[in-house]
Amino acid sequence: MTEDYIKSLSISEKVAVGEEIWATEHRLACKRRGNLGKGKGTVRDIVGKAVGWSGYTYALVRKVFLLAEANDISREDRQLVRQVIELMDKTDQVEPHIWKISHLTGRLPKGKPLTIKQRRVKLLRKLASTGHRAEQIAEKIGVTVNHTRCLARENGISLPDPREYHPNFNSNKIVREAVLDAEHLAASLRILEIDPDELDQGEIPGWVESLGASISDLRKLLNTLNKRRST
């Protein structure tokens, strides 16, 4: 296989090719055991080099594809894994998409510390799994309740139904709080001057994604209110 051919493959195709090489190299590695003088490196390093990756990256991506067919994870997690695979194929990038399922792979790419957003999502997932409500989680991760729900939705995290804890839960209160949160945020942005040169380049993609989702939700709420006002 030529280098140009390998570069033309999607990530899914690289894994398919890699698995064929993996099966062969695994058999050879079994035969080489006990004869260290003829070692060629680990199987993952051999396969990774063949498809243009490091051995670590190949092993990590391979685990993602195995998870997509696993029976011991929830349907929601399996769906999330398949979405990540689609994104990797579409963008021809392993990162940043693979971060979204680090709780399933059990590891992260080397030398990549978690961003603020990733740390929040990790804690959010842990707290949600133990029954914490959005209000409780928001206080612990340092964002608003609406932002907490947005992060949960983006990352396929199920939050306890607030109606279970609030018998008097009503739409007017939700909208009132959402409007106040939006007003406070807008007021802060008007008062404070943001220096673009001081912005952390590593955080910007996460901010853009989160803001886009929040603006989309607010736009839906605005449309609903406008429709209700016109009736």
- Structure tokens given for 97: 């998409």
pLDDT > 50? residue 39: no
Is the same domain home to 124 and 213?
yes
Mark which of 105, 133, 154 sits at the end of a domain.
105
Same domain? 44 vs 18:
yes
Same domain, 130 and 101: no
Q: Which string of b and e fits 179-204 if b means at least 16 CB within 10 Å? A: eebbeeeeeeeeeeeeeeeeeeeeee
178 and 222 together in one domain = yes
Structural domain harbouring 99: 3-105
Question: pLDDT value at position 41?
Answer: 62
> Is the Cβ–Cβ distance between 44 and 55 less than 8 Å?
yes
224 token code pair = 């609903």
Q: Which of 74, 105, 136 is the last residue of a domain?
A: 105
Same domain, 134 and 58: no
Q: CB-based contacts of 144: which residues, under 8 Å, 6+ apart?
A: 138, 181
Domain co-membership, 160 together with 215: yes
pLDDT in tens, 56-92: 888 888 888 888 887 777 888 888 888 889 988 998 8
Is the pLDDT at 225 greater than 50? The verdict is: yes
Phi-psi region of 200 (alpha: psi -120 to 50; beta: other; left: phi over 0): beta
Q: How many CB atoms lie within 10 A of CB 105?
A: 19
Domain count, the chain: 2
What CA–CA distance (Å, rounded) separates 38 from 32? 7
Judge if 8 and 43 occupy the same domain: yes
Instruction: In whole angstroms, give the CA distance from residue 156 to residue 100.
Output: 9
The more confident residue out of 112 and 6 is 6
CA 73, 74, 77, 79 dihedral sign is positive
> From CA 93, how far away is CA 107, in angstroms rounded?
17
Is residue 28 a part of any domain in this protein?
Answer: yes
**Exposure of 38 in the CB half-sphere (CA atoms within 13 A):** 8
What size, in residues, is the chain?
A: 231
The answer to the question of residue 120 being in a domain is yes
Domain end among 105, 125, 140 = 105
Query: Within this chain, do residues 64 and 161 fall inside the same structural domain, yes or no?
Result: no
Q: Are both 182 and 132 inside the same structural domain?
A: yes
Assess if residue 111 is contained within a domain. Answer: no
- Check if the beta carbon of residue 11 is closer than 8 Å to that of residue 22: no
Do residues 11 and 19 lie in contact, with contact meaning Cβ atoms separated by under 8 Å? no
Sign of CA dihedral 50, 51, 56, 62: negative
pLDDT tens-digit readout, 159-190: 876 554 455 557 787 788 888 888 887 887 77
Has residue 193 been placed in a domain? yes
Q: What is the pLDDT of residue 79?
A: 85
